[in-house]
Structure 1
Amino acid sequence: MATWNLSNTIHHLLICNGSSCNRVGAEDLTQELRKEISIRGLDDMIHTTRTRCNGRCHDKCVVINYPQGNWYKDLKPEDVTIFIDSLLDNKDYTGKISHSYNNHGFDRSPEVVTGIRKDPDKVKKVSK
């Protein structure tokens, strides 16, 4: 098991590999992102983590750029070069952002499905 030195990391990409994203190519997207990062010698700057479901199945494939707070939707392997370019240029990958963090919460792109609200009355309470 590796312990990465993250001191030079600028972008941490959380790549959803939940079942909905996997059905439309999340593993291919994950491998293509990692390959492009490696080819460009950006491993020290861009770290990737494969996650389970991020709860935005309608937006599959989902990638979250932390700490910037942008959630990207509908990413495909063929988007990887432009996506990495946008990260390096500190520009948003127009048309692919579903949500952006604004220091108070998330702004949702108008064309993105709002989704369901979490109902606190239906959440199972965990005893301490």
Structure 2
Amino acid sequence: MATWNLSNTKHHILICNGSSCNRAGAEELTRALRQEISNREADNTIHTTRTLCNGRCHDKCVVIDYPKGVWYIDLKPEDASSFICSLLADKNYEQKISHSFDGQSFERTPEVVTGIFKNKEKVKKVSKII
């Protein structure tokens, strides 16, 4: 197994490969993002990790830019070039942001679905109502 040197890493992008995102093309998105990073010789500054479900299935495909704390939604393979260009320019890919961390809490982009609380009791109550 490889042990990457992360000394020059500026962006760690977490690519959801949970079942909902996979059905929406997460594997193709993962390959496109990694190819774009390689094409731009940015492997030392942008590190990728496939994750399991990130809990925002409605927003598929989800990508998180860490350590900035910016969550992106509805990313498609055709977004790969523009998305990676934005990271390399230290800018956000504005049109696909769902949440961003301001140092204290996450700010939700107004058009984005709020979602449900993670508290198990509330989830049970919601599912009984539905």
TM range (shorter): over 0.9
For these two proteins, the number of residue pairs brought into alignment is 123
Kindly provide the CA deviation profile for residues 57-112 of structure 1, in whole angstroms up to 9, marking residues without a partner as x: 00000000000110000000000110011111122112200000001110000000
Structure with more of its chain in helix, by fraction: 2
Counterparts of 1:40 and 1:17, CA distance in 2 = 23
Q: TM-score, normalised by structure 1?
A: 0.92
RMSD: 1.3
SS at the partner of 1:118? coil
Shift of 1:120: 5.6
Amino acid at match of 1:39: N
Counterparts of 1:22 and 1:79, CA distance in 2 = 16
- Which runs of 4 or more aligned residues in structure 1 lie more than 2 Å from their structure 2 counterparts after TM superposition? 120-123
Amino acid at match of 1:35: Q
Quick one: percent identity of the two aligned structures?
A: 70
Amino acid at match of 1:87: L
* Aligned counterpart, 2:103: 103
Does residue 116 of structure 1 match 2:109? no
Q: TM-score, normalised by structure 2?
A: 0.91
* Aligned counterpart, 1:93: 93
SS at the partner of 1:95? helix
* Aligned counterpart, 2:126: none
Matching of residues 1-128 of structure 1 within 5 Å: 1-119=1-119, 121=121
Shift of 1:122: 6.8
Q: What 5-or-longer segments of structure 2 have no aligned partner? A: 124-130
Counterparts of 1:55 and 1:28, CA distance in 2 = 20
